[in-house]
Structure 1
């Protein structure tokens, strides 16, 4: 039988369309992506990092190969349709991992929610070690002009100022999204408020080690409270800074870049890379930035208690006794974050097309 041109055209199109349709059908469904930054050893059964609680308790039992990534595998729960990964520490690893994930043809993440759940430091003026903090804003603590401490003008509060700025208090504030890089991000306020309201009454671990640690911060009433769920902004910097003067800079830097709206709460490395990578992919329609959450749990204070030096604090944190908040903060990240993840995943008919918001 001789095929006419229209028939040939239709047949040729079917060769293209049908494989494409099959590829769409074959995509691994994802309702929530759980993002952690590190694992210390194996994904289960040994000393835990940020990923292990999710693997063992959610659980994330199915391995999905992830060649070209820091961790090498992702984990999946097929009944909840939750995907989890450990990106590697630092903003570069985070940005690389998130870009690779979103571009991975195995997944369609246009309606997926992203929950970054990691540990970090906390400002003793804001809250206690062991706290779990949902972030309304992410501020870039790495992109700046920095003047050596020996050359800081006497009328400056510190040696940090905006790129291309001539003073720390340059006004008006340079655009948050400029050719020099994004300095600040605001997460969906309604979603953040919803996550906080859903989890604010969850009891958090309060060990003897945490109690001993916070008791030393006399004169810092917020630092002496028992661990609780809070909301506060995270400052993302690849440099592990510490000390009272750096803490004052962090408080100022967050207020500056949020034009007085933000409150510095937690320190982190990866959050700026997380937001930059996802924002770029959102411009291409591959993810929805209104479906992004960041939870940081406090493993330590970012400055020493009264009467102790920064050097003494850093030396102490190299010992198990001095880093008493590590395990409780890992537990808090899962305890709080999993409530949100399970709610989104198990009530997908409610949240697939309608992003939750606080009443």
Structure 2
């Protein structure tokens, strides 16, 4: 079933690209890009209502050839986007656009920064739908499920030791920076460890997407059944659904009980017990950092972000299967439905925003929770972190944080810094 579905989807993508290439008029337009997309004209400033972020070609392909709208009417090259994905794609009225960021944290941050700084767009009222696939925690949800996050946690931004060289009482080789044990809060931070988006908007997205008919495969159903013998994995053995839970960001693509449990613990501690470790991805904290910075400059609105991740694989194996087999050799059967469900759930969110634009979404959905980063860059009352981290607290300014953390970092490296 996996091979058949993958082959079908691959064929559809290839056919769609062939048709679009045939219909284009290369060389007519400043919008010609490396991918062969062209367009003729566009407004001097484009003001999308919804901007879809995908990370690589399969996620982008989920939005091609859909019946609701055509995102490839206008294709605009933007300096600074990924060399693989140099164009922004928009439907005819420019109300919905899509950009593919590239995979990994550096690609995501670079692309989102270039987009938000481009003078081609006015993004101050734009809703951003981050839509991609991810690994899934079987204690929370299952293959092909659709998740919407409130927190994004950069779980791998820690000290790391090889597990073979750990003290006997350590359960993981990951230790928060500036601390001495895995279960301590970080003493030193870089500012990208945790982001929180609007809970109200997240809940609206969950409600809109809940009516989606989710795709599935018999192979995924069979692999889910292997988790049924473990009571804690009951959600993993259940059919796919729409779930509100949180996302972990790591450039390292990991698999296994030990790492997954460690990062679940990291998520819990760094969000002060509120976050639910659920999906595993490689980009979201990077994208959110770029959006915090652009919001601080009045270019975007951080309260208009939705994080959608669909489950393409389990982050840990079922009994009798090794982490290596789980990641590399076993056919879990969920990649095609996970890709398809980005669209199936995401399009309901997009349509909901468009349909409710005049009554609700143009003015914005006011969050009742804190939104932003661990630095409190955007102001408010953070429900995680420590007051010493907050640059917008007058008693603990950024200069004070820098004065206290830099000597500690240097001292750990054997450097004595004499303050003049």
TM-score after normalising by structure 1: 0.84
The residue that corresponds to 2:60 in the other structure is 51
Aligned to 1:187: 197
Change (3 A) 1:116 1:174: same
Q: Which residue of 1 aligns with 2:118?
A: 104
What residue is the counterpart of 1:309 in the other structure? Answer: 322
- Name the CA distance, whole Å, in 1 between partners of 2:281 and 2:203: 21
Whole-Å Cα distance in 2 between the matches of residues 182 and 53 of structure 1? Answer: 29
* Structure 2 match to 1:205: 215
- The aligned counterpart of 1:64 is 76
CA distance in 1, matches of 2:328, 2:306: 33
The counterpart of 1:117, out of the listed 102, 126, 131, is 131
Alignment deviations for residues 102-121 of structure 1 (CA, whole Å, 9 cap, x no partner): 01101010110000000000
How much does 1:30 deviate?
A: 0.9
Q: Could you tell me whether the CA contact under 8 Å between 1:37 and 1:50 is conserved in 2?
A: yes
Which residue of 1 is the match for residue 303 of structure 2? Answer: 290
1:316–1:323 contact (8 Å) kept in structure 2: no
1:63 Cα deviation after fit:
1.2
Match of 2:48 in 1: 30
1:232 Cα offset (Å) = 0.5
Say whether residues 1:142 and 2:147 are aligned partners: no
d(CA) in 2 for partners of 1:166, 1:333: 40
Match of 2:180 in 1: 166
Deviation at 1:152, TM superposition (A): 1.6
Describe the superposition over 1:280-306 as per-residue Cα deviations: whole angstroms up to 9, x where unpaired: 111111111000010000001011111
- Shift, 1:315, TM fit: 3.1
Q: Displacement, 1:262?
A: 1.1
Check 1:288–1:100 CA distance in 2 against 1; reply closer, same or farther (3 A cut): same
Counterpart in the other structure of 1:88: 102
1:150 CA displacement: 1.7
Q: How many angstroms does 1:182 deviate by?
A: 1.9
Match of 1:265 among 255, 266, 278: 278
Separation in 2 of the partners of 1:325 and 1:179?
A: 36
Instruction: Name the structure, 1 or 2, with higher relative contact order (CA <8 Å, separation 6+).
Output: 1
Q: Unmatched 5+ residue regions in structure 2?
A: 1-42, 369-420
Is the aligned partner of 1:337 residue 2:346? Answer: yes
Structure 2: distance between partners of 1:285 and 1:66 = 20
Distance 1:249 1:115 in 2: 28
Shift of 1:356: 7.1
Seen in structure 2, the aligned counterparts of structure 1 residues 122 and 179 have a Cα distance that, compared at 3 Å, is closer
Q: How does 1:347-358 map to 2 (within 5 A)?
A: 347-350=356-359, 351-355=361-365
Return the offset for 1:231: 0.7
Measured against aligned partners, the alpha-carbon deviations of 1:80-103 in whole angstroms (never above 9, x if no partner) come to 611101110001100000000001
Cα displacement (A) at 1:125 = 1.1
2: distance between equivalents of 1:168 and 1:87?
32
Paired with 1:156 and 1:314, the residues of 2 have a C-alpha distance of: 25
The DSSP-based 3-state class of the residue aligned with 1:51 is: helix
Distance in 2 between residues matched to 1:200 and 1:344, nearest whole Å: 15
- Structure 1 match to 2:142: 128
SS at match of 1:89: coil
TM-score scaled by length of structure 2: 0.72
1: CA distance between counterparts of 2:260 and 2:186?
22
SS in structure 2 at match of 1:54:
coil
